[in-house]
Structure 1
Amino acid sequence: MNQRSFSIELWPPSQSTRLMLVERMTKNLSTPSIFSKKYGALSTEEAQENAKQIEETAFVAANEHYVREPDGDGSSAVQLYAKKSSKHMLEVLKRGLQTMEKVDSPCVTVFDISGGRRTFIEAEEAEEILRPLSVKGNSYSKICFSDKSFGLGAARVAEPILISLKDQLTERSPALEDFRCSSTRVGSEGGITLAEALKNCTSLKRLDLTDNMFGVEVGVALSQALSSHVGLVEAYLSYLNLEDEGAIALANAFKECTPSLEVLEMAGNNMTAEAAPALASCIASKHLLKKLNLSENELKD
């Protein structure tokens, strides 16, 4: 009899698990214990504020570890998550009534919610998941939303966060080198916001926006946003409904401003022979190009 093989993924934790940890830490920080007798306890409000920040810091640090050193089931990330949470909770008690802003923590450079299965995100979960992006002073060099589909309610939650992200990226644009937002079902309005946010991220090396509902207008906006991205190495722009106008605008922008481009993917964008000359001219100018994908288009007469 054949035995079935299966695997168990331990990372990332579910949203309910994360909330349970916050509740448990809130209780530990605000109720009598061995540590509170020695260092003092926090009020419920102060405990909850600190618990949320502790959990967030621990989660992002553990997720960065998982992305950098994947171990298959995520067990080492879970261990780091627990270790960081316990360490920071004790630090808060030792230092008294302070927020995590005053507790030493590593500089987090990766925001990645793409791990695990593809999921459909609703409003409440989106608010919690995207909260780190709205924290002032973050300095992410990699942002990845891939394979998370946002429902209408979640999209409404995400909109003001993306707008604030646009302002933050404008202030700290040199930090961002890798941005991935594939298969998230972002529409035209969200695409325009993303284009505005990326305009000043001139250190960007990898851009993956594959499989979103952008359309021609977003394609033109992206061409303008990327016109000064001389360091861009990889551009994944397939299945965006760019059509000829959007594709031509992007091809012209890439021709003029991306000498280091090695990967260009623009499959499935409803392009016709009208876009072929601009694409050919762009490709001819890319001497470092290693991978090109223009499949699922009608580029021949």
Structure 2
Amino acid sequence: MQKKIEDIAFAAANHYISKYPNADGSSTTQFYAKETSKLFLDALVQGSPEETEDLNASEAFPEIVEAKETFFDMFTMERGFLDEALATKFFRPLEEIRNYCTKIRFGNQSFGVESARVAKKVLMDVQKTLTDVEFADFVFDRSQAEALEVMSIFSSALEGCVLRSFSLSLNELAEETIKAFVPLLKSQKMLEELKFNYFYISVEAARAICELLPSIERIKSLHFHYNDSGDDAAETLSLLVKKCIALEDFEFSASEIGTRGAIALAGALSEGSRLKMLNLTDNMFGTKGGIPLSQVVSRHLGLTEVYFRHMNLEDEGVIAIADSLKDAAQSLRVLMIGGNNITSKAAPALAACLAEKKLLTTFSAAGNKLEDVGSIKICKAISKGHEQLRVLDLSANAMTVIGVS
């Protein structure tokens, strides 16, 4: 697991460098550390093998069960460029499992036109069984013209597949990339999971996403992470979110969304009622964006995970959210509100909310200004009846020895 996390964070850091070529080594290192920490924390929240001994293998680790038979993953290969000969060699194992391969992850290898054509021949044979496809950093260091041609080849090869999930990450061409995948995207009517991560989503790219997906009523999981979208793109994508009536898992994190985009997304999310996971971390929603979020969490009674870190919610926003969560989300297991500039003023509302969440496993309010008074109130609220709590983080809250003890 550790190597997989490090590989993903390393690829994200390479994308950061290509996007910000003038960035110094320190900022790149900080970005890598931040991404690694996020991935490790997500893994920690989901649980370790020791905590899932009572589950069978398919329940505890569904992503690796029968991996040799059903999952073709190019991230297991050494990073490099694929020519026609290497592609023929690399795809030989896929030819052997073509009758029952269900998931493919393309990445860590840069495809040229010739190697993409080799891949197309093989992919045509797995169309009937394929349900999950991920593209991540698969045309790096190629010219724009060649990269777009490669994407078009893959899109035409997979057109007509009945996919359950589709993920497009670590690509810089944005709108052009979306349009290159038109044949594939327009042919999808059964999608349940859709992800665009590490992907610059401009307003034009957002419009393309909204226009090219013919059927989104079945989508349960929708992720946008580290996309530099901003308010305009967030407003456009909110129109897509509003139509995802079956949505259970929504992430729009690290995408430079301000108050205007926050209000639009909150309005769209309020149209539904099935969310279980909500992650809006690393955006500048502010207090005016936080208050509409309180209305969102009050509607989605089945919420189990809420990630609202580094959103500048401040006391007013967090109090509104805590008040709404108190009487909703009775199965809440994860609540992350670190780095929101909240003080001890928000502690009573947080304490009252947490006291009701007996199933809570993870709570973090790190990087705030709760001080001794606020931290003690929170600790008292969860001191009894919270036997499942495994992670409690109140670090960097200006506490003295009294609060820490």
Q: TM-score range by the shorter chain?
A: 0.5 to 0.7
Work out which structure has the larger RCO, using CA pairs closer than 8 Å and 6 or more positions apart in sequence: 1
Q: Give yes or no for contact 2:203–2:236 (8 Å, CA) kept in 1.
A: no
Is 1:64 aligned with 2:166? Answer: yes
The unaligned stretches of length 5 or more in structure 1 are: 26-50, 68-84, 90-99
Q: Give yes or no for contact 1:60–1:111 (8 Å, CA) kept in 2.
A: no
RMSD, aligned CA: 3.5
Is 1:146 aligned with 2:213? Answer: no
Q: Which has the higher strand share?
A: 2
> Could you list the per-position Cα deviations for residues 147-202 of structure 1 after superposition, in whole angstroms to 9, with x for gaps in the alignment?
21126xxx53553342x225413xxx2x1110011101111101001111111321
Match of 1:109 among 181, 184, 192: 192
Match of 1:160 among 215, 227, 236: 236
- Closer, same or farther in 2 for the Cα pair 1:123/1:57, shift >3 Å? farther
Is 1:7 aligned with 2:79? Answer: yes
Match of 2:354 among 267, 283, 295: 283
Q: Give yes or no for contact 1:123–1:157 (8 Å, CA) kept in 2.
A: yes
- Closer, same or farther in 2 for the Cα pair 1:57/1:139, shift >3 Å? farther
Aligned partner letter, 1:156: D
Q: Give yes or no for contact 1:127–1:158 (8 Å, CA) kept in 2.
A: no
- Closer, same or farther in 2 for the Cα pair 1:58/1:246, shift >3 Å? farther
Q: Quick one: distance in 1 between partners of 2:345 and 2:334?
A: 22
Q: Quick one: distance in 2 between partners of 1:235 and 1:293?
A: 11
The unaligned stretches of length 5 or more in structure 2 are: 1-76, 81-107, 110-134, 170-180, 374-405
Q: 1:293 deviation in Å?
A: 0.3
TM-score between both structures, scaled by the size of structure 2? 0.49
Aligned partner letter, 1:108: L
Q: Quick one: distance in 2 between partners of 1:16 and 1:111?
A: 26
- Closer, same or farther in 2 for the Cα pair 1:293/1:216, shift >3 Å? same
Q: 1:258 deviation in Å?
A: 0.9
Q: 1:226 deviation in Å?
A: 1.6
- Closer, same or farther in 2 for the Cα pair 1:150/1:284, shift >3 Å? same
Q: Give yes or no for contact 1:241–1:269 (8 Å, CA) kept in 2.
A: yes
Aligned match of 1:261: 332
Q: Quick one: distance in 2 between partners of 1:18 and 1:157?
A: 24
- Describe the SS at the equivalent of 1:194: helix
Match of 1:217 among 278, 283, 288: 288
Q: Quick one: distance in 2 between partners of 1:60 and 1:272?
A: 50
Is 1:248 aligned with 2:377? Answer: no
Q: Give yes or no for contact 1:112–1:145 (8 Å, CA) kept in 2.
A: yes
Aligned residues: 227
TM-score between both structures, scaled by the size of structure 1? 0.64
Q: Give yes or no for contact 1:143–1:179 (8 Å, CA) kept in 2.
A: yes
